[in-house]
Amino acid sequence: MSRLFLVPSNEYAQDKIDAGSWDAKSANQKAQAEFKQLLPEGLKSKGNYIYSILDDDTKVGIIWIAKLASNPGMAFIYDFRVFDAFQNKGLGTEALTLAAKQAKALGFKTLGLHVFGSNARAIHVYEKSAFQIADINMQKTL
């Protein structure tokens, strides 16, 4: 298992900056704080399920689902990636199907996630996998 999840990537902080959610000065600090809160005991943190996505014996991505504190019946996807070299092969869609089956086997009733509005590729994959919009935040630059 990768130690990828113990330290947030700069990519997450940059996504939050690009979306207008965080300012550049505090983004890395905020990302660190979120990950420490979500994974206080690292990979052994209760209620978190972190999986490698394998195609035969090749690791092609990762997915992290966890019990959502505000809704214990929901598993929430906190991180999901198919590495660049393996994209556009249907692996993301297949991985989401497997994650949903695993979440159901763990006793969850629903599976949720967040996607940045500018990520059209991800939105397409999620819609293809039967995810529906549950909430929309919008903003306008002034």
Segments making up each domain of the chain, as ranges: 1-42, 47-134
Looking at domain 47-134, its CATH architecture is: 3-Layer(aba) Sandwich (3.40)
Percent of the chain at pLDDT exceeding 90: 35
Quote the mean pLDDT of the chain: 83
Average of per-residue pLDDT across 116-123: 88
* Structure-block tokens of residue 96: 């989401």
According to the model, what pLDDT value does residue 67 have?
Answer: 93
For residue 101, is pLDDT > 60? Answer: yes
Are 35 and 136 spatial neighbours (Cβ–Cβ below 8 Å)? no
C-alpha to C-alpha distance for 2 and 21, rounded to whole angstroms: 28
Q: What letter does residue 74 receive in the DSSP assignment?
A: E
C-alpha to C-alpha distance for 83 and 65, rounded to whole angstroms: 18
For residue 116, is pLDDT > 80? Answer: yes
Give per-residue pLDDT as tens, 30-72. 878 877 888 788 778 888 888 888 888 888 888 889 998 899 8
Helices (H), 39-111: 91-105
Identify the three-state secondary structure at position 62: strand
According to the model, what pLDDT value does residue 18 have?
Answer: 78
Identify the three-state secondary structure at position 141: coil
According to the model, what pLDDT value does residue 17 have?
Answer: 80
Average of per-residue pLDDT across 122-136: 91
For residue 10, name the pLDDT band (cuts at 50, 70, 90). Answer: low
For residue 4, name the pLDDT band (cuts at 50, 70, 90). Answer: very low
According to the model, what pLDDT value does residue 14 have?
Answer: 75
